[in-house]
Amino acid sequence: MKKLIGAVERLFPMPCPLVVGGTMEQADTLAVAWINVVASTPPTIAMGLRESRHTLELIRTNHSFTVNIPRADMADVVDYCGLATGRKTDKFAATGLTLTPSSLIDTPIIAECPYNIECRVTSETQVGAYVLVLGEIVEVHAEQAILRDPDGDVIDIEALDPLCYIAGSREYRRLGERVATAFEAGKRFMDDTD
Ligand SMILES: Cc1cc2nc3c(=O)[nH]c(=O)nc-3n(C[C@H](O)[C@H](O)[C@H](O)COP(=O)(O)O)c2cc1C
């Protein structure tokens, strides 16, 4: 038996990065759960932001943003950045989060987040009270300690321990154990026609 629960805007799990807009001189950050990679050529991130967000103003001024992945133990800091607005308060001063320069764009990254993505805005589309912002990934920073191989680009997900958001029950969680290998586990259903 399945119950119809209506047109709820929920997928499970959701990422919950801190998105930064602005510059080293004037920046703001907010928690964003409606965000993901949507293309790989060119590498593109899309996110849904409510028109009223202060960080969106800064993103529009500088045509860039950074996506900063927090560890699960940063849930309280992320939640604060998703409750307070930069119009009234300096979230970096309030939380102790620190900004460091990006390599290719003017918008900084958050030092305390172990994985950071630099994006240049490529377009935006209105979706009711929201704006869908698309940004091309131009560079990625990964702390040495979260790399599986010091010379590679593959992340040790347990070392990263990324914060996840569960919509509906409004919980922050961490990821569970590995269950299978992607692009491999499904091969047992393939035959000569696939
Ligand atoms: C878990 C969580 C997820 C959120 N996801 C989004 C989102 O995807 N889009 C959005 O516009 N606001 C989202 N918010 C709300 C903003 O982070 C919040 O309104 C923030 O205070 C805006 O800050 P600003 O005005 O300084 O930019 C989320 C908040 C929380 C706590």
More confidently predicted of 192 and 34:
34
Q: Residues 6 or more apart from 19 whose CB is under 8 A from it?
A: 29, 30, 31, 32, 35, 47, 55, 59, 65, 66, 67, 68
Q: What CA–CA distance (Å, rounded) separates 46 from 94?
A: 28
Q: What is the pLDDT of residues 151-178, one digit of tens each?
A: 999 999 999 999 999 999 999 999 999 9
pLDDT for 194: 87
Phi, psi dihedral angles at 14 (to 5 degrees): -115, 145
pTM score, whole prediction: 0.98
Question: What is d(CA 48, CA 141) in angstroms, rounded to the nearest whole number?
Answer: 23
Amino acid residing at 38: V
**Ligand 1 centroid from CA 33, angstroms:** 8
Residue 66 Cα to chain centre, angstroms: 8
Q: Which fold has domain 14-189?
A: Pnp Oxidase; Chain A (2.30.110)
Task: Tell me which residues have their CB closer than 6 angstroms to ligand 1.
Answer: 16, 28, 30-34, 48-50, 53-55, 79, 82-87, 165
Domain locations in the chain?
14-189
Res 185: pLDDT: 98
Residue-level pLDDT at 108:
99
Name the residue of 11, 35, 53 whose CB sits within 8 Å of the most ligand 1 atoms, as the mutation to test its pocket.
53
CA distance 99 to 134: 23
